[in-house]
Structures are given as structure tokens and as C-alpha cells.
């Protein structure tokens, strides 16, 4: 995280490996599938209804997808993906 950035990552994602998160999302084609469902680049899938309200719920949602889609992500990988989504889309503190 560059020094001086106005926004600070949520505590539960502190130290998460964002590059790993990016790699996993590419590997598992998260956005390709979301794009098929919501169109565009797929990012409209993230929190359209505001259902997710905390970093913990976001991480839980990624864990649920992990289980449902049988992706076999390790806990630290789930955290890495959730941390990336938080930084780029949800911006929970």
C-alpha cells in the first residue's frame, strides 16, 4: 500500500496479497462469469443491492462462492481475493 493513500484497507485484510487475489480472479474467471450475468465488465455484480455491509460479510461471500463453485481456495487466498474486491469496489474500512 503506497504511503499517503487517503483510504486505508480494512483491518481483516491488512497484509493481504493483492497480486495473488488478482491472479486467482483471472485464473477462476470470476469476472468472465459475472459479465455473463450482469453484462459490461462484470463489476456491476458487486454490491448492487448493498447486501454486503462489512469486510467480514464480503470475505464470507467470497468464501461462499469458493465453496459453491468448488474452487478449492485456501483461507489466505479467499482473504486475498476479498481484499482486492474491497480495494477496487466495496471500499469498506
Q: Which residues bind ligand HEC (CB under 6 A)?
A: 25, 28-30, 33-34, 37, 45-47, 51-52, 61-62, 65, 69, 71, 81, 85
Distance CA 10, CA 20 (A): 18
Question: Cβ of residue 55: shortest distance to ligand HEC, in angstroms?
Answer: 12
- For ligand HEC, give the closer residue by CB, 20 or 71: 71
Q: Could you tell me the three cell numbers for 70?
A: 468448488
Instruction: Count CA within 13 A, CB hemisphere, residue 73.
Output: 27
Q: Rounded to 5 degrees, what are φ and ψ at 42?
A: 90, -10
- For ligand HEC, give the closer residue by CB, 3 or 49: 49
Amino acid at each position: 500500500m503506497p504511503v499517503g493513500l487517503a483510504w486505508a484497507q480494512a483491518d481483516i485484510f491488512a497484509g493481504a496479497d493483492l497480486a495473488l487475489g488478482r491472479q486467482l480472479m483471472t485464473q477462476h474467471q470470476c469476472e468472465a462469469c459475472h459479465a455473463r450475468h450482469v453484462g459490461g465488465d462484470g463489476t456491476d455484480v458487486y454490491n448492487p443491492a448493498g447486501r454486503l455491509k462489512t469486510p467480514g460479510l464480503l470475505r464470507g461471500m467470497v468464501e461462499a462462492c469458493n465453496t459453491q463453485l468448488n474452487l478449492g481456495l485456501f483461507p489466505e487466498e479467499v482473504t486475498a481475493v476479498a481484499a482486492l474486491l474491497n480495494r477496487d469496489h466495496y471500499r469498506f474500512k
